[in-house]
Amino acid sequence: MRANPHICKLLPYQPGLPINLVARNYGIEPKNIIKLASNENPFGMSPKAKTALLTSLDDAHRYPEQYNLLQALSQKLRVAPEQIVLGNGSNDVLDFVARTFLHTGDQAILSQYSFAIFNIATQSTGAKSLIVPAKNYSHDLPAMLRAITPQTRIVWIASPNNPTGTFAKYADVKQFLQSAPPEVIVVLDEAYFEYLPANQRADATTWLEQHPNLIITRTFSKIYGLAGLRIGYGITSPQVANLLNRVRQPFNANNLAIAAAVAALNDDDFVAKSFIANQVGRQQLIDGLQKNKLSCLPAYGNFVTFEAKNATGLNAKLLQQGIIVRPLANYDMPNHLRVSVGTTEENTKFLQSLKNAI
């Protein structure tokens, strides 16, 4: 077999351990396992989304139609439907961006400790990733700007970033966009946008008119609780959306996900409840970690990343107690663990298990 050399060099994405796998390996009942490894919404999905999902089963034999979700997003975001690109999860959109703008010999810029898919999407096209050292585990935007060369086609930015949880101020991202060459695509991955307090948010979609090279990505996997349905989207200029839609498989977003997403988008109460619970739960985790003398990175999403000397050993002891968190050795952060914000009860159990482990 002669696979493409750049594919052979790729390291596969490592997801959080599934509950059933841990149940089998550790002999624990699945119902006694707490998974805080993939930044999922601990409350599940909105009841309205669930109702819409069940109703949509009657359409599961039909090929999907995107119209309803494009309309709902267009209204909510105040952008034209032609500016929205739906993905089978927002990772799908990241992949379209790479396939549309990169080929062998090109370069994409990303930050050290930023989202793993940026590098995977880049390398899978044969292009090279230029990794700019992080500053205090955050994107160093001025350094990323200086790193741009004539070979640079894309700059990938995640804010809040995963796995660190750090956040790049909107004023700084805007400054970056204003200084970057207009032919370079700037991706702003906002998977955790809905978890930002109103006073720290800016509406980057209003920058698109001036900056048609900007692509914002968002997802229904996090606050909306639809991770398993796989639905996300990109918002960009009509020109760029038109290009991305050429590589998009026509039926990438399915009927069930589209129906659930429309309902989820309009359930403001569920989002508000999830937001508040996340604020409280995140503080609970930070306080508990600090009590155990573990220092946390600034946390702007629905997870907390903390430093632990023997992270591998600590992770193993947590698994034995049925607690799944995320080790970050594959992100070159071998002394950190990432824990998602769960329900109050889940957070309490995690902190208790952590205390036992230490």
Residue with tokens 């805007």: 174
Residue with the shortest CB distance to ligand PLP: 89
Q: How far is the CB of 348 from ligand PLP (least distance, A)?
A: 25
DSSP character for 321? T
Residue 138 engages ligand PLP in binding (rule: CB under 6 A): no
261 and 226 Cβ atoms separated by less than 8 Å: yes
Residue choice 158, 262, 294, 354 for contact with ligand PLP (CB under 6 A): 158
**Taking the chain, what is the end-to-end CA distance rounded to the nearest angstrom?**
48
231 and 253 Cβ atoms separated by less than 8 Å: yes
Closest CB to ligand PLP among residues 153, 230: 230
Residue 232 engages ligand PLP in binding (rule: CB under 6 A): yes
Q: How far is the CB of 231 from ligand PLP (least distance, A)?
A: 7
218 and 69 Cβ atoms separated by less than 8 Å: no
Largest interatomic CA distance in the chain: 57
Closest CB to ligand PLP among residues 301, 322: 301
129 and 156 Cβ atoms separated by less than 8 Å: no
Residue choice 89, 225, 281, 288 for contact with ligand PLP (CB under 6 A): 89
Task: Report the C-alpha gap between 85 and 79 in whole angstroms.
Answer: 12
Question: How many residues contact ligand PLP, by CB under 6 A?
Answer: 14
Joined together, the tokens standing for residue 192 give: 């955790």
Q: Would you call 253 helix, strand, or coil by DSSP?
A: coil
Interface characters, 166-205, with ligand PLP (x: CB under 6 A): -----------------------x-x--------------
Residue choice 56, 66, 90, 107 for contact with ligand PLP (CB under 6 A): 90
Q: How far is the CB of 224 from ligand PLP (least distance, A)?
A: 10
Closest CB to ligand PLP among residues 113, 350: 113
- DSSP states of 143-192 as a string? HHHHT--TTEEEEEEESS-TTT-----HHHHHHHHHHS-TTSEEEEE-TT
Residue choice 46, 125, 213, 219 for contact with ligand PLP (CB under 6 A): 219
Residue choice 162, 237, 321, 353 for contact with ligand PLP (CB under 6 A): 162
Q: Would you call 35 helix, strand, or coil by DSSP?
A: strand
Q: How far is the CB of 50 from ligand PLP (least distance, A)?
A: 18
- CA dihedral (290, 133, 199, 337) in degrees, to 10, reads -30
Residue 353 engages ligand PLP in binding (rule: CB under 6 A): no
Interface characters, 14-43, with ligand PLP (x: CB under 6 A): -------------------------x----
Q: Which residues bind ligand PLP (CB under 6 A)?
A: 39, 89-91, 115, 158, 162, 189, 191, 219, 221-222, 227, 232
